[in-house]
């Protein structure tokens, strides 16, 4: 069975304070340390909106355990504005900022989330895949139905890039659960049977069963993005319990 890492999309949310996840009066500078004592990975979402300051990244690398890993979301400028054009040039700016994570061996996959208005363009995708550094792991989240086609999945397989499996109602009709490389990347946006986006116990148990099947063939990286009301850390811990992995 391959390894499973389960965490949340980010760690600094107001709804997690005052006992919901963080102890009362815990200063924000200690949030990541506390989080990393309970999970072994996090998805860095802030990098989607702005490039992180290198000194801040150096601190992140220092305060987490050696086996902790950061998945990093690629800048929306690259995925949403220029839409994968000149990938090598724009990605180099991000890689320079997160180099302390690379140097410390604490970098997980890079997450490439495409906008729902970006329709299938095989040539542009192929050029971007060619520009992605092969020494790093990459996962792509498509949000338009046109991308879920066999030629696109073949491109991902050829470049050893993971297809992100996104759990949100608007993609259920076309999302495919294909494993295109030796790891898979799951994003839990919000539950459909729990209250207000919380995942129900039944949903989490069903996902645990699916992940058990996936890990027979691939390493699994899974993140909860339903951060409001501290649903994400609670759901991540329950899923971890089902799979008997660290949380």
Q: Beta strands 69-73 and 107-113: pairing type?
A: parallel
Per-residue pLDDT tens digits for 210-229:
999 999 999 999 999 999 99
Query: Running along the chain, 247 residues long, what does each successive block of 10 average in pLDDT?
Result: 96 97 97 98 96 97 98 98 96 97 98 98 98 98 97 98 94 94 96 89 96 97 97 97 79
pLDDT attached to residue 247: 52
pLDDT attached to residue 193: 84
Angle between helices 201-214 and 231-243 (to 10 degrees): 50
For 8, residues 6+ apart whose C-beta sits below 8 A from its C-beta are 35, 39, 42, 43, 223, 224, 225, 227, 232, 233, 236
pLDDT attached to residue 246: 59
Per-residue pLDDT tens digits for 126-161:
999 999 999 999 999 999 999 999 999 999 999 999
pLDDT attached to residue 24: 96
**Residue 56: what are its φ and ψ, rounded to 5°?**
-65, -40
For residues 159 and 148, give the distance between their C-alpha atoms in angstroms, rounded to a whole number. 16
């Amino acid at each position: 069975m391959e390894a499973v890492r389960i965490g949340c999309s980010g760690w600094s949310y107001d709804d997690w304070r005052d006992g919901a996840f963080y102890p009362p009066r815990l200063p924000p500078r200690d949030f990541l340390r506390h989080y990393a004592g309970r999970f072994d990975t996090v998805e860095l979402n802030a990098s989607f909106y702005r490039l992180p300051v290198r000194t801040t990244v150096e601190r992140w690398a220092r305060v987490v355990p050696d086996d902790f890993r950061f998945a990093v979301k690629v800048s929306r400028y690259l995925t949403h504005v220029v839409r994968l054009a000149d990938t090598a040039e724009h990605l180099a700016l991000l890689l320079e900022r997160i180099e302390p994570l690379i140097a410390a061996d604490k970098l997980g996959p890079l997450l490439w989330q495409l906008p729902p208005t970006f329709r299938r363009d095989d040539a542009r995708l192929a050029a971007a895949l060619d520009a992605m550094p092969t020494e790093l792991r990459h996962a792509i989240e498509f949000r338009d139905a046109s991308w879920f086609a066999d030629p696109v999945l073949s491109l991902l397989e050829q470049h050893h890039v993971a297809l992100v499996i996104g759990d949100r109602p608007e993609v259920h009709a076309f999302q495919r659960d294909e494993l295109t490389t030796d790891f898979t990347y799951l994003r839990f946006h919000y539950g459909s049977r729990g209250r207000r986006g919380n995942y129900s116990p039944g949903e989490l148990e069903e996902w645990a069963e699916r992940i058990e099947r996936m890990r027979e063939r691939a390493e699994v990286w899974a993140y909860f993005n339903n951060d409001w009301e501290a649903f994400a850390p609670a759901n991540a811990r329950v899923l971890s319990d089902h799979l008997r992995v660290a949380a």
